Every structure is written in C-alpha cells, then in structure tokens.
Amino acid sequence: MEISFAGKGVLVTGAAAGIGKAIAEQFLQNGAAVFLVDFNPDLLQQTMTDWKRKFPSKVYGVTADLRQAPVAAATIVKQAAAAMGTLDVLVNNAGIYPSRFMLDLEESEWDAIFDLNVKGYFFMAQAVARYWVAFGKQGSIVNISSGAAANARPGAVTYAASKAAVVMLTKGLALEWIRKGIRVNAVGPGLIETEALLQSLNTPVAKAEHKEKISMIPAARTGRPSEIADAVLFLASDKARFIVGQNLFVDGGYTCGRVFCSKM
C-alpha cells in the first residue's frame, strides 16, 4: 500500500530526535514538506541541516518550549503554514518521561509533565483546528500516547496518567471535530529502541532490567522508531479516512497480555 503526502504540509513536535525524528523523516520520504518543532536548538539545527541536503525546500522548523503552548501554539501554526504554503497534518509528539516515585513528587514536577504532555498537545491541536476551520480546510491530527496509558508503572505514575489523558483528549477532540473535517487519532508506542533508551543501558542492572522487559513482550523484541512512524503515516493519510478517535497501540502485543511461557 503506497501512501503519498506530496503537496502536503506536516507539523511535528519533538521532532529533532527519537520517535519524532523518525516520524518527520518518513513524512519527508513520502513527499511531504515538514515543519519541525523542538525544545533543543542545537539538535534541531543539526537535524534540519542534515535533511535540507536530502530534501531541499521541504524542511522548516523553530525552537519552542511547548510547556508554554497556550502562548506559543498559534504563532507556531502561523509560521508552519506560511513556511510550507499549506498545513494538513499535526503530529503531537513532544513529551517528557521523568522517573519519580509518588511519595517524593513535587507539585512543580507534576505540573511540568502535564503542561507538556497534555496541555501542550491540546493547545497545539486547538491552534491547528482553529486554522483549518478559519480557512475551510480539512486535516488530520495524530497524538503520540503510550503503552503506559493502559499499564500503570511504578516510578512513572504521573507520566502514565498524562498519557491516559492524551487518549481521552484524542477521543473527545475527535468527537467534537470530525464533522468539521478534522480527524484525530493516537498511536501508543511500547518499548521502542530510541537513542535515549540505548544510552540508558549503561549499567549491568539497567541491562538486566531491559532484558526482563523484553521477555514480557509477546513479539520478544523492542520496537523500532520507524514502526511508530508507519502507524502515524497511515492514520494521517486518506487510507484511514474512516478511522476516528482511536488509540492504536504499536507495542509487539504488550498491552494485550504478558508472556510467562518461554516456550511460546
């Protein structure tokens, strides 16, 4: 099944590394112009420099702190639409995953997670939807949730709560906006082999814990960022035009149950 985004403009947040980078690159490979948003200016600039050689006149971007999304979102959307000449897809990917046990959690830490992982998603989606409605355009929004939305995790309760909120935000926005021609869906990654994950495996204990996590995945491996990108591109495309308000887990079967038998 071929999916083309030729002539389309795509805005991706958290796009300079990891899953967001894989998503943005795959949109580029399928013909789209892409507007990257990231908090890290050096990483963003390096990514844009590399891609502008491969995809001339298709790569744009801006550094932004999406914890300030109520203020920044409308400006980012205007910049993206002006740079690309069109704006057809939003991928909300920017997020943080701090590890903190709840007895030690401070209010400021709770707020930081929800400000980016939930409020950032909502205000970016609202700004894009307002743009589309104002200009009579249709569009697609794909939010990145997480397998954590379905499974509580000690040390990551606030993160899991924020991702569960993303799932319900996705459903609610989908219901409100589908008759305006705006589809909203989500993709929930499982354990994905990003640069950040690989860098975290720097001790024997971390490596042992990682091996144990993989043993509980029915597919018996970690996922690849490109596999999340595959799901995002499908949901953003016209091939998924009758899919509305869904959260698609891409996790090797982790959320459908645990594997306890090594002979499977």
Distance CA 32, CA 115 (A): 29
- 176's tokens: 């409100």
Residues 224-248, buried b or exposed e (16+ Cβ, 10 A)? ebebbbbbbbbbbbeebeeebbbbb
Longest dimension (CA), the chain: 57
Q: What are phi and psi of 43, to 5 degrees?
A: -65, -40
Cβ contacts of 261 within 8 Å, gap of 6 or more: none
The catalytic position among 121, 131, 159, 254 is 159
147 DSSP assignment: G
Do 106 and 54 form a contact (C-beta atoms < 8 A)?
no
Rg of the chain on CA atoms, in Å: 18
β partners of residue 89: 10, 140
> Any catalytic annotation for residue 131?
no
What is the amino acid identity at position 49? T
Distance CA 114, CA 40 (A): 19
Active site residues: 159
